[in-house]
Amino acid sequence: MVAAAPARSAASGSTGPTSLDEATQKATNAADWVQANWGTWLTSGLQIILIIVIAVILRNVIRRTITKFIERMNRTAAAAQGTALGGLLVNAERRRQRSEAIGSVLRSVASFVIMGTAALTVLSVLQINLAPLLASAGVAGVAIGFGARNLVTDFLSGVFMILEDQYGVGDEIDAGVATGTVIEVGLRVTKLRGPNGAIWYIRNGEVKRIGNLSQGWSTAHVDVLVSADQDLERARSVITEVGEEMSKAEPWNEQLWEPVEVLGLSEVSVDTVTVSVSAKTMPGKAGGVERELRWRIKHALDAAGIHLAPRPAPVEDEAAADPSAAMAAPSALGNPTSPQSLATNPIPPPQLNK
């Protein structure tokens, strides 16, 4: 028993230095590893900080540059609208909304490109394999593109509509699905005010064609129905005088860009003739000019004793129903003495001789 105790103490004394040596060795290895890699960590950290700082500064500079450019465009449009000719040719609200939409798109694209590039550069500095990440992002982009293809189509169509200046605020357009005055142009939806006051929300991707009635100039067209027995030369002179008087009156002298022109006869029938009258007007003012021109022509022709022809009654497509069509056709079987009726009588049975 006495000899076993020293043996245990010797065994315990031998394990203690071994564990201490292992701990010392591990600490030495860790210190050597940190000492060998701290320079790389410091370099990578400084690179990451520098990349982020450069990306943020570049993003802010580009966004401010775009904003100043948009503000300069708006100031130029506002200054041009203050002149007599510029007020007719420049729509400040239209230019403002168009420039704001373009600026928003440019700022978003610049932020996405700069920050995305910075993020990929940081990952490459951290020595992260970007191939799986890019492959996953590509697959996710394709899936999102198929799932939200209508949204992407609306957005791209809105961008091109704004860049090409197909229409703007205040324009009278025919979008196929609706017609009205543009009150707001967005990247996804265009808002129209219809003739009856209704507001139409049209997705830009659904618009297949655009008829802009407010760009350049408009045409006011009026058809005057005159009786065929009236003096057409006198009617022409009266209508011409009406156009000259209207072009000198306020506010029609600004809305009429060319003299009212009598084009001649567009239709000729036995009782009536149609005299066509046309005038070039300011964009979007053709409707008001047409109504005023009809009013003045009617009063002038009445004062000159020239009678207008009544409009022909609409021709009915279907002829009136024949009242006898519902009656049944006469039948020979209705007369009991007719041969046909007698032929239908049953044959009497033969009589037997008793």
Query: So what's the pLDDT on residue 37?
Result: 67
The answer to whether 219 and 280 are in contact (CB under 8 A) is: yes
Take residue 112 and report the two structure tokens written for it: 């996405």
- Mean residue pLDDT of the chain comes to 76
The answer to whether 118 and 52 are in contact (CB under 8 A) is: yes
pTM for the model stands at: 0.48
Q: Which of 128, 314, 293, 136 is nearest to 224 (CA)?
A: 293
Q: What is the mean pLDDT of residues 321-349?
A: 62
Take residue 310 and report the two structure tokens written for it: 């009544």
The answer to whether 189 and 181 are in contact (CB under 8 A) is: no
In the three-class reduction of DSSP (H, G, I as helix; E, B as strand; rest coil), residue 273 is classed as: strand
Query: So what's the pLDDT on residue 251?
Result: 86
What confidence tens digit (pLDDT) does each residue in 180-200 have?
888 888 878 888 988 888 899
Say how far apart CA 151 and CA 212 lie, in whole Å: 25
- Name residues whose C-beta falls within 8 Å of residue 256's C-beta, 6 or more positions apart in sequence: 246, 247, 279, 280, 281, 289
What confidence tens digit (pLDDT) does each residue in 108-142 have?
888 888 988 888 888 888 877 777 777 777 777 77
Provide, rounded to the nearest whole percent, the portion of the chain with pLDDT above 90: 6
pLDDT band at 344 (very low <50, low <70, confident <90, very high): low
Query: So what's the pLDDT on residue 295?
Result: 92
Indicate the burial class of 324 (C-beta count within 10 angstroms; 0-12, 13-18, 19 or more): exposed
Say how far apart CA 256 and CA 217 lie, in whole Å: 10
More confident residue, 42 or 201: 201
Q: What is the mean pLDDT of residues 152-168?
A: 81
More confident residue, 272 or 87: 272
What confidence tens digit (pLDDT) does each residue in 8-54 have?
444 444 444 457 777 777 777 766 676 666 667 777 788 889 989 99
Query: So what's the pLDDT on residue 87?
Result: 46
Say how far apart CA 188 and CA 178 lie, in whole Å: 16
The answer to whether 239 and 274 are in contact (CB under 8 A) is: no
Instruction: Give Cα 110 distance to the centre of its chain.
Output: 25
* Type of residue numbered 34: V
Say how far apart CA 296 and CA 220 lie, in whole Å: 14
Q: Is the pLDDT of residue 337 over 90?
A: no
Could you give the residue ranges of the DSSP H alpha helices within the chain? 4-81, 86-89, 92-125, 130-147, 149-163, 232-248, 252-255, 286-303, 339-343
DSSP 312: P
Indicate the burial class of 204 (C-beta count within 10 angstroms; 0-12, 13-18, 19 or more): buried
The answer to whether 220 and 243 are in contact (CB under 8 A) is: no
Query: So what's the pLDDT on residue 61?
Result: 92
Say how far apart CA 97 and CA 169 lie, in whole Å: 8
* Type of residue numbered 30: A
pLDDT band at 256 (very low <50, low <70, confident <90, very high): confident
Query: So what's the pLDDT on residue 163?
Result: 76
pLDDT band at 88 (very low <50, low <70, confident <90, very high): very low
pLDDT band at 58 (very low <50, low <70, confident <90, very high): very high
